[in-house]
Amino acid sequence: MRNILLTIAYDGKDFHGWQIQKNALSVQEVFQGALFKVTGEKNDIKGCSRTDTGVHANMYCISFHTAHRIPIEKLPAAINNYLPGTVAVLSAKEVDEGFHARYSCKGKEYIYKIWNNHIRNPFLQGYALHYWCNLDIEAMNSAGRYLIGNHDFTSFCTVDNSREKGDFHRTIKELTVRREGSLVTLTVQADGFLYNMVRIIMGTLLYVSEGKIQPEDMAGIIKAKDRSLSGPTAPPVGLYLNKVFY
């Protein structure tokens, strides 16, 4: 048996997230179907993360064991032959027996894109949040600095009884908001993320820009461990899993 690590990318606009669901199309479902056509096996695939409906991935990692002997360099093209145009395998390599796409992960980076212009960009429909009010980038970065470090991020997590419960501490290593013309991008890198954490951070930073929350309020919001004190959950449309670290 070989343990294979695949890196894929996908446009999440027409998918209901990564994980297989009973009544909706997921990325995992179409990927498993394509992999079966190559290996003829019902492989137990491990994804590096859940992603929600409409969320995209520039880098998403999958591991699985297989007895198939297809050369590793031919595997991406073979799987891509059966995938829709919105999903692509970027690379493949053999890894140690104990490697697990999720549990071996040391950290992830997400980005959130906003088209900050009065006029919408038709080419970013479904790929960036259209937000027409002027954004205060300086205030957003000032607020974001309070989030860097190891904290209990209960105030920035949606409680979902279907998900695993556990420690809500995470370590944010980098958080920046940058503007390039009308495109504003939030970049967040951490050792792990809670459910909807990046989207809630984005919604909170939008409230900061609007003056509804002051940058210095962030310390108290973190300390309170109270979801009602942070901002709204931003739509999934602008969110991308950007990098996965092992």
**What percentage of the chain exceeds 70 in pLDDT?**
98
226 part of the active site = no
pLDDT at 197 over 80: yes
pLDDT at 43 over 60: yes
81-98 pLDDT, tens digit each = 999 999 999 999 999 999
Q: What is the distance, to the nearest Å, from the Cα of residue 152 to the centroid of all Cα atoms in its chain?
A: 20
Exactly one of 52, 152, 167, 217 is catalytic; which is it? 52
Residue ranges and CATH numbers for the domains of the chain are 2-95 (3.30.70.580), 107-245 (3.30.70.660)
The H-assigned helical ranges of 131-211 are: 137-144, 197-210
CA distance 61 to 59: 7
145-167 pLDDT, tens digit each = 999 999 999 999 998 755 556 78
Residue 163: per-residue pLDDT: 53
Q: What is the distance, to the nearest Å, from the Cα of residue 71 to the centroid of all Cα atoms in its chain?
A: 30
Q: What is the pTM of this model?
A: 0.94
pLDDT at 210 over 90: yes
pLDDT at 60 over 90: yes
